[in-house]
Amino acid sequence: MKNFPEQYQELNTWMEKLGAAIPGPMSGFAQLHEKTITKGALDSKTKELIALGIAITVRCDGCIAFHVHDAMKSGATEEEIAETVSVAILMGGGPSVVYGIEAMQAVQQYKDVGL
């Protein structure tokens, strides 16, 4: 089983390194992320849940690690994440079941480390 909290930390470390190597694009990406997730007509939690659903359907492990973490930090419950998984399965079929399971594993692992 993947360790999503460790993956989250490792990706953060490597994103910093990538930012040092290509500061312009990574700065732009960080600003895009910040501005997109900021509360508007949709709150940040809803936006993170949308991002998680997309991460599951496009089968991005690192994105699952990030968006489960950030959704939980934004107040998403396990039940809300489970419903997000169900929508991702609707849109992505069988492969989304597998990645949806990974999202739920990530929820449990983050809960285990006190998030």
Q: What is the mean pLDDT of each run of 10 residues along the chain (115 residues)?
A: 94 95 96 97 98 96 96 98 97 94 96 96
Say what the pLDDT of residue 57 is: 96
The dihedral sign for the CA sequence 67, 23, 38, 58: negative
Tokens of 87: 């929508």
Instruction: Report pLDDT for 29.
Output: 95
> Pick from 26, 25, 27, 48: which is nearest to 36 by CA?
48
Q: Look at residue 1 in the predicted model and tell me its pLDDT.
A: 85
Domain at 4-112, CATH homologous superfamily? AhpD-like (1.20.1290.10)
Residue 51 CA to residue 64 CA, distance in Å, equals 9
